[in-house]
Amino acid sequence: MPLPQSFLDELIYRCDIVEVISKYVSLKKSGSRYVGLCPFHSEKTPSFSVSPDKQLYHCFGCGEGGNVITFIMKEENLPFIDAVRLLADMYGMAVPEDSGDTDAERQRRERIFELNKQAARYFHSRLLSKEGERALRYLLNRGLTKKTITSFGLGYAMPEWDGLIRAMKEKGFSDNELESAWLARRGRSGGLYDAFRDRVMFPIIDIRGNVIAFGGRIIEGDGPKYLNSGDTPVFSKSRNLFALNFAKKSKAGRLILAEGYMDVIALHQAGFDCAVASLGTALTSEQARLMSHYAAQAVICYDSDGAGQKAAQKAIDLLKPAGLEVKVLHIPGAKDPDEYIKKNGAEAFALLLDRPQSDSEYMLAVIKSKYDLSADSQKVLYLKEAADYISTIGSPVEREILIGSVSQQAEISSQVMTAEVKRAFTIKARRQKKKEESEALQPLRNVQPKENGLRYKNPRSALCEEKLLILVLQDWELMQKAVSAIDCEEFSSPFLAEIFKKACLMSKNEWNAMPAALLSQLTDAESRHLTRLFSQEIPSKDPEKEIEDYIRIIKEEYAKNNSEGDQRLMDALSRRRERKG
């Protein structure tokens, strides 16, 4: 059976949502609320709001919202029961142990953790066996020591189709578990085969020390160079980082963001124990936030080719909003850090780390590389693009320094460059104002929920239903008056009616339907919409009078809709009689 609602209500009541979220987001007090940069999407100006009195959070940018439990679920990538356990431990509460469904899910995750651990041991043993000599030689030739190979638990997946499957079945694991862990896949005939074959294996380990997934590199032959586990019940590639289990212990105060497994391992072997990498995909906002939990500075150390430059630019746009100081490392005479360290040694690389470019210097260098400044026409294009970029810099001091640097490189006066930056800023401000004015001219569209699948057929009634809910969910006495005056069937919006219905049931027990507690009974879309409503709340001067007005309009629209429906039915019956006649 699920966890008792009374326990969830008590947990939410005890948790200080500001205290919890402050562990992940830098919050500043603004009136009765706290604001900060949203942890769920990339942004430069704060749109994330936390309401301590309602125990809710909401982002005006991406629409995410909920209570303290949903925040932990999203931020820590945890299922509901694990998020509840984490918060209960934090606030000294015991979780009821009779929740069968959630226990089954927890047991499933624990089985996959154990399966991954056994698979990692199997791959490592195969690497050190006679059959793995070719793979071991490949790693040694890449400059890795046996100590490093053991520390990272590197392994080898045999070429045979079902070697891992047979080994894991002997340990009691089922076909379904192997497939759920992405260690086995199904062929067209329905049979299982090993997902990784004839590859050097890199186990991916989370910050708690659990093996959660694998990456495999081909040694020779056809096929993708790297193959990575897909998402599983214990792994999301967008929310984890390779080698963070090691890097989190570093005293360096920074994280080096490299492109691949081998770069990261080579850096660690050379003494740079703060290196991490994304998992077969471009960096994500979730990974950027994860990095911000363990360091104040991120040093991007990507390949020097065109693809590496594009990836670095995208990474900058994600790392800065996460609150990290971003630096970019230019590696002269080498494609990647692994190659540079082999050529020049660890001490030379350490000197590079001491003088990285700032993110702005890097971006302007990339812009400059696109133009030939010996040609006036090219110089003009460079200055316009550079000015456009500088106009996005928030710090006046940094803008001034960059203007001076660009002016000197292009051999023009800083006054001219300052004017160009101001022009670019004015154009941006004009576009933003036009966009806001355009949105303001479409009030009906703004009334509609932003969540997919939630639409109002009667916006006039739905708007009153929203405002009615905002008032009654915060005042038990107002709730009682509303319950006696209107029925949920009179609501035009089915999902607003469902919220009202659930709040009515709570109110029968004389419980104040605190919005944060109610969210645990709603869908994700309903929760996001409800938190958005509360985040836009304007204090009421006369709530009782407002409720009367809202109920009157809802009833008017309900009666109007029913009368129109009755008339359509009468018209249809009349047409039918005419046809028969």
pLDDT given for residue 97 in this prediction: 66
Count of residues in the chain: 581
Please tell me which of 19-23, 268-272, 537-541 the model is most confident about, judged by mean pLDDT. Answer: 268-272
Render pLDDT for 376-418 as a digit per residue (tens, 0 to 9): 899 899 899 999 999 988 888 988 999 999 999 888 898 999 9
Q: Who has greater pLDDT, 227 or 571?
A: 227
Is the torsion defined by CA of 144, 145, 146, 149 positive or negative?
negative
CATH fold for domain 5-90: DNA Primase; Chain A (3.90.580)
Render pLDDT for 452-467 as a digit per residue (tens, 0 to 9): 566 778 888 888 888 8
Domain 103-228, CATH number (from 3.90.980.10, 3.30.470.30, 3.40.109.10, 3.40.1400.10): 3.90.980.10
pLDDT given for residue 568 in this prediction: 57
Mean pLDDT of the chain: 85
CATH fold for domain 459-567: DNAb Helicase; Chain A (1.10.860)
To 5 degrees, how large is the angle CA 199–CA 205–CA 211? 75
Render pLDDT for 238-282 as a digit per residue (tens, 0 to 9): 889 999 999 998 999 899 999 889 999 999 999 999 999 998 778
**Residue 72 token pair:** 């932990």
Q: What are the extents of the domains in the chain?
A: 5-90, 103-228, 244-363, 370-440, 459-567
Is residue 448 very low, low, confident or very high in pLDDT (cuts 50, 70, 90)?
low
Torsion of CA 464, 467, 473, 474, to 10 degrees: -140
Render pLDDT for 430-441 as a digit per residue (tens, 0 to 9): 887 777 666 544
pLDDT given for residue 100 in this prediction: 45
Its pTM surpasses 0.75: no
Question: Does residue 581 register a pLDDT over 70?
Answer: no
Within this chain, domains 103-228 and 459-567 share the same CATH topology: no
Domain 244-363, CATH number (from 3.40.50.10330, 3.40.50.300, 3.40.1360.10, 3.90.580.10): 3.40.1360.10
**Cα–Cα distances in Å, from 287 out to 27, 44, 237, 410, 442?**
20, 17, 9, 37, 36
Half-sphere exposure (CA, 13 Å, Cβ side) for 462? 21
Render pLDDT for 107-156 as a digit per residue (tens, 0 to 9): 888 999 999 999 999 999 999 999 999 999 999 999 999 999 999 999 99
The residue type found at 186 is R
